[in-house]
Structure 1
């Protein structure tokens, strides 16, 4: 029932579609005031970007928070060269899903694979990455499973390491695969306008 309720929330949201640059861009307005923006590859139907925006208690529009895709680059930091920037050698944590897996890539981790330990922590509803050399630790949840109130399964988790990048994969449960297929069918029915010819209908 929980999965169905999330499907209902998404289906009842106000959606605007835009086709641009080989992508299907969808903007969702939910009844609670939250907004979600997604971008899908037109050829493969793979999700490239998902980000969220919430209003504060005073009704001020917050900044976009990226859930899937490359993190947003701060324009203020790039305009002012004196701003303290994050070291380019620091680990970069990015979620990039495939059709069948939730997937995270952590770049700039130059350690051998046997140093890494990746495990599911069901009571905390999260995945933990740690290294035996104490050089990296990360704890993160899977929002898709939380929204649908689905349990975490250790057997769905796997990881590989290549080119200084740790790739963590979590096999999507069948409920999520069904939901994503249903949603994609619905999104394809939306009349996607070309960029520059879009009625934004934002309130």
Structure 2
């Protein structure tokens, strides 16, 4: 009888443990829904515009900030995210790009003296893929062994430096900050080709869950027929 009792107790403990694992797994999947960032997105006024293979979402938040995102219709990958920054004198303001290429109205005349003087300076651009966050730093001619790319947990960023002390840069990762996730060295990889340093950061599962969840949420935003003024700047 004692042996049978022990067996039943073991089975009961296994069932309880299995339930706890499932409960914790579900909680982890929904962790992003408890963040301020997720609730801010939910509470924003949203409009949608589709142009061929690009879906544009315009957000207007309660504090009057504005954000525009562009998604690939087929892959659902975020191609660009830009924030509208108010002008110093209270004017219309300009769009500041967080992810993707600069907006057309941000392109500067390449014939200007300022561009000629700085054309060889390192230029950082952000990319986003289904599984990685990516940075491309152009105009870095040094060999691959020159670069150090390290996670900085205290400042929640990636620090890039060269052994010849010719370059130093802190790469911010707002996606991790918004979800209160640590920056982990194991997720960082980098390569160098054609004077361009390419750094990738593997998206943690919580961020992948957030991407998937938010893509489903955006399906509720129906496209408009007329192009909003906010999207014409794109």
TM-score for the superposition, normalised by structure 2: 0.76
Partner secondary structure for residue 71 of structure 2 = strand
Tell me which residue corresponds to 1:31.
Answer: 62
Tell me which residue corresponds to 1:152.
Answer: 183
Contact 1:159 1:168 (C-alpha < 8 Å) held by counterparts:
yes
Contact 1:27 1:37 (C-alpha < 8 Å) held by counterparts:
yes
Tell me which residue corresponds to 1:126.
Answer: 157
1:164 and 2:192 matched: no
1:20 and 2:58 matched: no
- Root-mean-square deviation (Å): 2.5
Change (3 A) 1:186 1:3: closer
1:84 and 2:94 matched: no
Structure 2: stretches of 5+ with no match in the other structure: 1-30
Aligned length: 199
Tell me which residue corresponds to 2:79.
Answer: 48
Structure 1: stretches of 5+ with no match in the other structure: none
More helix by share: 2
CA distance in 1, matches of 2:107, 2:160: 31
Partner secondary structure for residue 169 of structure 2 = strand
Deviations 1:37-73 (A, max 9, x none): 0111122222111011244798654321110012346
Contact 1:3 1:148 (C-alpha < 8 Å) held by counterparts:
no
Contact 1:3 1:149 (C-alpha < 8 Å) held by counterparts:
no
| Structure with bigger gyration radius | 2
Contact 2:135 2:200 (C-alpha < 8 Å) held by counterparts:
yes
Partner secondary structure for residue 123 of structure 1 = coil
